[in-house]
Amino acid sequence: MLAKLVDLINEYLKINAIRRMFAMVRVRKSEIVGLVGLAAIFAIFEGVGLSMLLPILQYAESGESAITNGSGIIWSSVAAFLHALNLPVTLIVLLLLAFVPILMRQVVYYFNAWYSAIVANRIGVRMRVRTLDAVLDADPAFFDQQPVGHLVGIAVTQTEAAGEAVLWVVKQLSVTLLMALYVAIMIAISVPLTAVTVVFAALVAIVVKRSITRIRDFGVEAADVNQTMMSKIVERFSLMRLVKMRDQKTLESRRIEEYSETMREIRVKQARLGANVEVYADPLLMLSVFVTLYIGIAHLGMTLAQLGLLLFVLNRLNAKVKEFNTGRQMISTKMSGLLLVRQTTEEAAKANTIRRGPVAFTGLKERLVFDDVSFDYPQSRGVDGKVLDAATSVLRGVSVEIPAGSLTALVGRSGGGKSTLVELIPRLRDTTGGSITFDGTDIRQFDVGTLRKGVGYLTQDAMLFNESVRENLVYGLGYEPTDEQIVDALERTYATFVLDLPKGLGTMLGDRGVRFSGGERQRIALARVLLEDTSILILDEPTSALDSESETYIQEALAKLHGHKTIITVAHRLATVIQADQLLVIDDGRIIERGTHEELIAQEGAYHRLFESQLLA
């Protein structure tokens, strides 16, 4: 019986849910102490102010005879307090004595609301930073499986729910203390009537339990739909040119409308269930007032002063019970968002498999060696945890030595594993077999941060932010280059056109550098790589989508680096890598041919056929 009572109290107060919430949002002990302390002080002043109503009403009803006839803990406490202050018991003194705690209660309310907002927003910031840290630490495979819109929704919308949830928990704490206080005052007035009130409050909890549970379930469903909708919106915005070219505005609008309608239906159902709570709770609470009034007058012979105070306190208690039920609904709703945040951070943490080594990478001096390297893409899962793709083998038995300062080109059919191979060098992905060494030191021994900073990386799609040219050039450098250094890098990459713009280096690039052509974006990105001054430069088909003029600029800039940096390039157009020190023909995850251009042409193998086909094209 006692265990069932404890379970009922836990369910009603949402103690377990609140405990899980506080663990997830990592509320600090000092914050908990501050919130609990302010709520307790508020409740104390509220209790003192309300308790003073009884002697005031009795004094107004009986005059000075109330002083001699008054009994009970409230009157005795008031009399002792006034006697200690050497003050007479008069109506004015009693009114002033009641006004002071009421005034102080409002002062405490102000600080409580202010501090609650501070804590809630702090928690929102901490949750967002914690989530972003976990996501940014995750391996690239994590981003292959998670839609960008889903991650944006988690990092922005759902982390905001953390702070809101804490606000509701704080409100619940304050309301709980006040309810306990009101019950204590009622006990001081009449134990039997307090028992009647508690019975009705328990009935309310039992009646609304099912509605609260369904509200929580709808909250989980709403969070899932919201995440899916945000993911679709972000994806459509990023592919807006395709949407416009296929004239699919109506279709996409209808899709988003369908998600919005689903959200509307869920919110309406939640609102209806919330209304059910009011419909069920209000009659029971009003009935408790009528029953209390009847018993107090007909059977207990209570005075008007006692009955008036009891009804006043009961009215305040009923209001807090309704407020508490609303809080239970909101906590149930917000918990769904917090669970999504926790799920994402846990998945990101599991995906953080690349460990930092103890050795700082200071550059390649002699050679980079791949020894029997293999790589498998892990099993792919969707945001709902369902398996999307089985594990896939991409590289098998790759062995090659790349001398420092040389130019090595990876060529072959698309999907052969070329891009995956170069991603292993800065440990964007980790090998699943074999080893990679820099000057004899295993790649896993290097600190990941210094290793990646020691590798320049230029892809087919120039990686640029919607920031100024200067901010893109200096991003992640670790030092502030002078204007002379920036101009030198721009000149070496034929990107001095940015200096002729009205705002020069302060020109905003637009989303992904959309204000510039593909060739211009690549030259800006290459200038940033030169400012990094790395010993290794990786080029993943940087000119495959460029016009011949832009390609010429890029090739001339790279030619100046040949011999000064270790360059590893993935090439689609073989004519751009004829001068490479070694060419690696990769097919189906294996190196099937290697040598210089002349050597491979003489072999009349796969490279020869590929080169001939491009000449004919």
Query: Given 3.40.50.2000, 3.40.50.300, 3.40.640.10, 1.10.3720.10, which CATH number is that of 406-415+453-616?
Result: 3.40.50.300
pLDDT one-digit tens code per residue, 378-436: 665 554 555 555 567 889 999 999 999 999 999 988 888 898 899 999 988 888 899 99
pLDDT of residue 21: 59
Q: What percent of the chain has pLDDT over 70?
A: 86
pLDDT one-digit tens code per residue, 125-177: 888 888 888 888 887 777 777 777 778 777 777 777 777 777 787 788 888 88
Cα–Cα distance between 604 and 437 in angstroms, integer?
Answer: 32
Nearest to 458 by CA among 574, 545, 562, 537: 537
CATH superfamily placement of domain 1-351:
ABC transporter type 1, transmembrane domain (1.20.1560.10)
User: Once rounded to an integer, what is the mean pLDDT over residues 303-328?
Assistant: 79
- Cβ-proximal residues to 236 (8 Å cutoff; 6+ apart), any chain: 243, 252, 256
Domain boundaries, the chain: 1-351, 406-415+453-616
pLDDT one-digit tens code per residue, 195-254: 888 888 778 777 777 777 777 777 777 777 877 787 777 777 766 666 766 667 777 778
- β-pairing, 582-587 vs 407-411, is parallel
Q: How are strands ordered across the β-sheet holding 536-540?
A: 455-459, 536-540, 566-570, 407-411, 582-587, 590-595
Whose tokens are 């804590």? That residue is 119
Is the sign of the CA dihedral 125, 126, 128, 129 positive or negative?
A: positive
Q: How confident is the model at residue 16 (pLDDT cuts 50, 70, 90)?
A: low
Computed over every residue of the chain, the mean pLDDT equals 79
Q: How confident is the model at residue 12 (pLDDT cuts 50, 70, 90)?
A: very low
- β-pairing, 367-377 vs 392-403, is antiparallel
Read off the DSSP letter of residue 582.
Answer: E
Q: How confident is the model at residue 2 (pLDDT cuts 50, 70, 90)?
A: very low
Cα–Cα distance between 212 and 281 in angstroms, integer?
Answer: 12
pLDDT of residue 50: 79
Is the per-residue pLDDT at 1 higher than 50? no
Cα–Cα distance between 50 and 313 in angstroms, integer?
Answer: 8
pLDDT one-digit tens code per residue, 456-489: 888 877 778 888 888 888 888 878 888 888 888 8
